[in-house]
Structure 1
Amino acid sequence: MPLTTSGKTDRKALPAPDGERTGLEAEFIAPRTPAERAVARVWAETLYADEVGAQDDFFDLGGDSLTATRVALRLQEDFGLEIPVRTLFTHSTVESLAGALTVARRTGAFPAGG
């Protein structure tokens, strides 16, 4: 990795991405439901991603515990739910998280494991 004089990654010296979905699902599957589209939009905005698919994993896209906190807060506003940050760790794909949010909205509780 190229470094700056202060020892940080020199992002300007990195090569341009080639457009491949390296580390992500090989086939892009667009979000299908309103909940999936909402989750994908928040992830794309928070992670500065061009596109986020239904089966993309939050952590493969570059998410970490800090961005998970920001995403949980943004989704709380969109869904009107209190969303524990751990939910993003147990439901780390758009599809899985959107499903958990849909169940929580309907029943008032997140599914087991989330």
Structure 2
Amino acid sequence: MSVDTTAAAAGRSPAPADTEGVVAMFRRVLEVDEVSADSDFFLLGGDSLVATRVLSAVARTYGVELTFADFLDAPTPERLAAKIAAAR
């Protein structure tokens, strides 16, 4: 895990990691309305290719670059938000 400097280089601060932000990210990427804090990304129909879209969104939004292994370890919005916060 490493902190991405893209947001800082663009002159903006990364957003604070929060569960609701990650829930919204899952909804957008998966095109599913029924996502809660403990919804499993893969049980909602996500796969490894779509997970890379979430990881890209995490990097853009929160300034943190997580690995796919990180995502596998934290496939719910709540756990992913915690992992983002810990990486900062």
TM-score by length of 2: 0.76
Aligned length: 72
Within 2, Cα distance between the matches of 1:85 and 1:42? Answer: 16
Hey, what's the Cα distance between the residues in 1 that align with 2:34 and 2:44?
10
1:64 aligns with 2:47: yes
User: Post-superposition shift, 1:51?
Assistant: 2.9
Write the mapping of 1:1-114 to structure 2, written as runs, cut at 5 A: 35-105=18-88
Q: How far, CA to CA, are the matches of 1:86 and 1:63 in structure 2? A: 15
What is the distance in 1 between the residues matched to 2:35 and 2:87?
Answer: 22
- Higher strand share goes to which structure? 2
Query: Hey, which of these two has a bigger chunk of helix by percent?
Result: 2
Task: Deviation per CA, 1:3-24: give whole Å up to 9, x if none.
Answer: xxxxxxxxxxxxxxxxxxxxxx
C-alpha root-mean-square deviation of aligned residues, in Å?
1.1
Q: How many angstroms apart in 1 are the aligned matches of 2:69 and 2:51?
A: 8
Q: Aligned equivalents of 1:101 and 1:53: distance in 2?
A: 18
Amino acid paired to 2:39: D
Moved over 6 A (4+): none
CA distance in 2: counterparts of 1:78 and 1:51, whole angstroms: 22
Which structure would you say has the larger Rg?
1
TM-score (norm. length: structure 1): 0.60
- Structure 2: runs of 5 or more not aligned: 1-16
